[in-house]
Homo-oligomer: A and B are copies of this chain.
Amino acid sequence: MTTNRRRAATIPDVAREAGVSRSTASRALADYGSVSPDARERVRAAAEKLGYRANQLARSMITGRTHTLGVVIADIQNPFFAGVTRGITDAAHTAGYQVLLANTDEDLGAERAAVKTLCDKHVDGLVVAPASTTEVGHLAALVEGVCPVVLLDRHAPSLPTDAVTVDNQGASADAVRRLIAAGHRRIALVTLVGSEPDGGADGGAEHGAGARTGEAASGPFPISTGVERVAGYRAALRAAGIEDTDAYLRVGTFHRQDPAVLTEELLSLPEPPTAVFATDSMIALGVLSAVNARGLRVPEDISVVAFDDAEWTRVVRPRLSVVAQPVQELGAEAVRALLTRIERGARPPRHITLDTTFITRDSVAPPR
């Protein structure tokens, strides 16, 4: 039953008419995913009755929209981004949009090329996890132009658009406080930062090794996520009366330094750390690899915590205590913010911050 014949039919109208959920209706209309033949037929009939498809096509032609979103992720091999991408894709499909992905492997040059390619292909908007949160000129040009951009996992204060992240500083401080509460004082942080293009980041490697200088937190190529996790780490240490916050801070550079080697250096110190905090699950694999190579037991000899609830962290023995990020929700929020910008045009930038959850498992014990 149509309720109002004067306005253009919407997906909710079609769903109501067909007696199916909005999600089913949009999947059927977008010809995507699992819809029963019966539901598909009812949606088709409802769309025809309400003139939905004709309206949608007409709107496409008027607006020039392609109903395609571009997504630029930083590292497809990191389970965090795989999960986020899943959230993005599900949310986009539900809204009737297709997703095209590009992977930059944390390389700014690759990011610039990927953004250009996706724009050339006339995507309606971009979700970007930028390789740098300061070198964003190529994105600024888009934000002010025809292609809305929403940042994901990382925010760039100089870029007047939305960003969807977790509270990285708070989550990091919370994890460190838990280690302090367990009795630890010598707590290491192992993290990676972006590298300058054109090989200019050999100095970055020095920064990484020289984390004690205090400049390394931002690295040669700052990414807000890493900067904030280091800030949270330092803040929690200072609050516990630990003055030399950088004694066990190791900031490496993506592709140039191996977290296992950084950890091995830490374990070789005269007074090695009794706990190690890894800023993502891939770094945690490097940390565990170095810990295993030394024959150390977790948590008896050394405690280990990490960002990201990768599936393997629940299967290794001992199971890893982690900072879980709401990966699917981060992706879905980014899509919602982007669609709002696409459909309603420019509006003041919003920084959407989602909560993390610390999951206590078996990898933390008091120091020996």
By a beta-carbon cutoff of 8 Å, the part of chain A in contact with chain B is 30-37, 40, 66, 68, 76-77, 79, 82-83, 85-86, 89, 93, 98-103, 105, 107, 109-110, 112-114, 117-118, 120-122, 197-199, 282, 285, 288-289, 292, 310-312, 314-317
- The residues of B that contact A101 with a CB separation of less than 8 Å are 76, 100-103
Chain B, Cβ-Cβ closest to A90: B105
- The residues of B that contact A197 with a CB separation of less than 8 Å are 33-34
Say whether A99 contacts B99, CB under 8 Å. no
Q: How far is the CB of A96 from chain B (nearest CB, A)?
A: 10
Q: What 9 pairs across the A-B complex have the smallest Cβ distances?
A: A312-B312, A101-B101, A98-B117, A121-B121, A77-B82, A100-B100, A316-B316, A32-B113, A288-B315
- The residues of B that contact A315 with a CB separation of less than 8 Å are 285, 288-289, 292, 312, 316
- Report how far A35 CA is from B68 CA in the complex, Å: 32
Q: A117 and B100 in contact (CB under 8 A), knowing A311-B285, A312-B316? A: yes
- The residues of B that contact A30 with a CB separation of less than 8 Å are 113
Chain B, Cβ-Cβ closest to A83: B77
- Report how far A105 CA is from B110 CA in the complex, Å: 25
- The residues of B that contact A109 with a CB separation of less than 8 Å are 31-34
- The residues of B that contact A100 with a CB separation of less than 8 Å are 100-102, 117-118, 121
Provide a sorted-by-A list of 21 A–B residue pairs whose CB atoms are within 8 angstroms: A31-B112, A31-B113, A32-B109, A33-B107, A33-B197, A35-B198, A36-B198, A66-B120, A76-B85, A76-B86, A82-B82, A85-B103, A89-B103, A98-B102, A98-B117, A100-B100, A100-B117, A285-B315, A289-B315, A312-B312, A316-B316
Q: A89 and B105 in contact (CB under 8 A), knowing A118-B100, A197-B34, A314-B289? A: yes
- The residues of B that contact A86 with a CB separation of less than 8 Å are 76-77, 103, 105
Say whether B79 contacts A77, CB under 8 Å. yes
- Report how far A117 CA is from B315 CA in the complex, Å: 38
Chain B, Cβ-Cβ closest to A30: B113
Pick the residue among B32, B76, B85, B198 that contacts A37 (CB under 8 A): B198
Q: How far is the CB of A260 from chain B (nearest CB, A)?
A: 10
Q: How far is the CB of A180 from chain B (nearest CB, A)?
A: 26
Say whether A33 contacts B110, CB under 8 Å. yes
- Report how far A110 CA is from B68 CA in the complex, Å: 14
Q: How far is the CB of A108 from chain B (nearest CB, A)?
A: 10
Q: How far is the CB of A41 from chain B (nearest CB, A)?
A: 11
Q: How far is the CB of A285 from chain B (nearest CB, A)?
A: 5
- Report how far A301 CA is from B33 CA in the complex, Å: 42
Chain B, Cβ-Cβ closest to A93: B110
- Report how far A114 CA is from B68 CA in the complex, Å: 10
- The residues of B that contact A79 with a CB separation of less than 8 Å are 77
Chain B, Cβ-Cβ closest to A39: B198
Chain B, Cβ-Cβ closest to A311: B285
Say whether A117 contacts B68, CB under 8 Å. yes
- Report how far A101 CA is from B110 CA in the complex, Å: 14
- The residues of B that contact A199 with a CB separation of less than 8 Å are 34, 36
- Report how far A317 CA is from B112 CA in the complex, Å: 41
Q: How far is the CB of A75 from chain B (nearest CB, A)?
A: 9
- The residues of B that contact A112 with a CB separation of less than 8 Å are 31
- Report how far A107 CA is from B93 CA in the complex, Å: 12
- Report how far A36 CA is from B200 CA in the complex, Å: 8
